[in-house]
């Protein structure tokens, strides 16, 4: 966390993290706050050929899938204050999320645990992206099984794909007890089972 003395607070950027940004945020911020966004589900429907995979063996990473209004995705809002830190954060996130991750940026509404609302920047992917794969089956168990097989065989410069899934599931369980992310938790369970089988 960074402290900001004598900065221009006129420029401010609110960023919502729901994937690896939850634990690996390589930009300066003033405040972080737990909360959620509405109308989305966290899904592992994006391939990754850099951070958690290679072009030969792509991994899987989380995106936001637009869904029903009652769906929530819990995460952390990072407040970046001051023109220098805002510009630096935008540049780093553009490389990390857009250039290497294949994501696009958009804005949605964040709801804090205390009920405060604000607009946040989020990074996700759509089916127009060549790394987007979507579900391979309408049956969730079959989809999870397929993704887990891909995950346990993939590794990129940030580490193994399995580490990403397990770390994300653990973080969500420990920090957002109100989150019931069936897709994430079933994938975490399947990945762990397959890792044990392969030992």
Which domains occur in the chain, in start order?
Answer: 12-192 (3.10.490.10)
pLDDT of residue 171: 98
Contacts of 79 (CB under 8 A, 6+ apart): 12, 13, 14, 29, 30, 31, 32, 33
Q: In this structure, what token pair is assigned to residue 36?
A: 């959620």
Torsion of CA 12, 16, 19, 22, to 10 degrees: 60
pLDDT of residue 2: 31
pLDDT of residue 4: 35
Contacts of 115 (CB under 8 A, 6+ apart): none
Chain segment 111-134, per-residue pLDDT in tens: 999 889 999 999 999 888 889 999
pLDDT < 70: residue spans in the chain: 1-10
Q: ∠ CA 197-167-23 to the nearest 5 degrees?
A: 165
Q: Is 97 one of the annotated active-site residues of the chain?
A: yes
Instruction: Provide the angle, in degrees to the nearest 10, between the axes of the packed helices 182-197 and 140-151.
Output: 50
Task: State the sign of the Cα–Cα–Cα–Cα dihedral 123, 35, 191, 23.
Answer: positive
For the entire predicted model, the pTM comes to: 0.90
Q: In this structure, what token pair is assigned to residue 134?
A: 């979507």
pLDDT of residue 8: 43
Q: Quick one: how far is CA 64 from the chain centroid?
A: 8
Q: In this structure, what token pair is assigned to residue 176?
A: 């957002």
Residue 99 · residue 53 · CB < 8 Å: no
pLDDT of residue 1: 29
Of the candidates 70, 97, 145, 197, the residue annotated as catalytic is 97
């Amino acid at each position: 966390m960074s402290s900001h003395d004598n900065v221009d607070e006129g420029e401010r950027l609110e960023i919502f993290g729901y994937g690896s940004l939850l634990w690996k945020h390589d930009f300066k911020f003033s405040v972080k706050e737990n909360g959620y966004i509405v109308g989305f589900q966290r899904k592992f429907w994006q391939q990754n050929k850099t951070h958690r995979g290679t072009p030969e063996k792509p991994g899987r990473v989380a995106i936001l899938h637009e869904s029903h209004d009652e769906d929530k995705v819990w995460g952390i809002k990072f407040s970046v204050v001051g023109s220098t830190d805002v510009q630096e954060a935008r540049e780093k996130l553009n490389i990390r999320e857009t250039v290497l991750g294949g994501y696009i940026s958009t804005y949605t509404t964040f709801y804090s645990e205390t009920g405060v609302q604000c607009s946040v920047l989020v990074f996700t992917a759509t089916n127009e992206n060549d790394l987007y794969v979507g579900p391979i089956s309408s049956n969730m168990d079959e989809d999870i099984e397929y993704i887990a097989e891909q995950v346990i065989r993939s590794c990129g410069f940030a580490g193994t794909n399995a580490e990403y899934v397990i770390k994300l599931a653990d973080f969500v369980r420990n920090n957002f007890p109100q989150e019931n992310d069936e897709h994430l938790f079933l994938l975490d369970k399947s990945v762990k089972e397959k890792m044990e089988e392969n030992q």
